[in-house]
Chain A
Amino acid sequence: MAAATRTPYLQILVMEKERDIQTLYMKFLESAGLEPVIVNSGKECLDALFADGASFDMVIIDTHLADVDGISVAKKSEKGCPARG
Chain B
Amino acid sequence: MPGQRIIITSTFTDTLAKDLELLGMSEKDVLVKPFRFAQLLSLIKPNTSRVGKIGLTDHVLAFYDSPEEEMLEAFAFIKSAARNDETALFVIRKDVDVDDLKAKMAKDGIEVDRLLSTNALILVRNEDWYIPDRQVDKKRIIAQWYELVDNCTGNGTKGLKALCMIDCFFDNGFAEEEVVDYELALPARFDIPFVPICAYRKQDIDRLSEDQLKQLMLCHNHVWTAGDS
Binding site for B on A (CB under 8 A): 1-2, 4-12, 16, 24, 28-29, 32-34, 49, 55-64, 70-71, 74-75, 77-78, 80
Contacts and interface: CB of A to CB of B under 8 A. Distances in A.
B144 interface: no
A74 B55 contact: no
Nearest to A69: B19
Interface in B92-135: 109
Contact of B47 (A10, A63, A75, A80): A10
A56 B7 CA distance: 12
Of A33, A56, A58, chain B has the most CB atoms within 10 Å of the CB of A58
Contacts of B109: 55
Given A58-B4, A62-B9, A78-B23, A28 B40 contact: yes
Interface of B: 1-11, 16, 19, 22-25, 31, 37, 40-41, 44, 47-49, 51-58, 76, 79-80, 82-84, 109, 188-189, 221-222
Given A7-B54, A71-B23, 5 more contacts: A7-B52, A7-B55, A32-B41, A55-B109, A61-B9
A62 B6 contact: no
Nearest to B19: A71
B55 A6 contact: yes
Given A4-B55, A77-B1, A10 B6 contact: no
Tell me the dominant secondary structure on chain A's binding face: loop
Contacts of B79: 55
24 contacts: A2-B189, A4-B54, A4-B55, A7-B54, A7-B55, A7-B80, A9-B52, A9-B80, A10-B49, A28-B41, A32-B44, A32-B48, A33-B52, A55-B79, A55-B83, A56-B1, A57-B3, A58-B4, A60-B40, A61-B9, A62-B10, A63-B8, A74-B8, A78-B23
B31 to A, nearest CB: 8
Contact of B24 (A16, A34, A64, A78): A78
B48 A9 contact: yes
Given A11-B83, A75-B22, A59 B4 contact: yes
B47 A60 contact: no
A60 B5 CA distance: 8
B83 A1 contact: no
A5 to B, nearest CB: 3
Contacts of B40: 28, 60
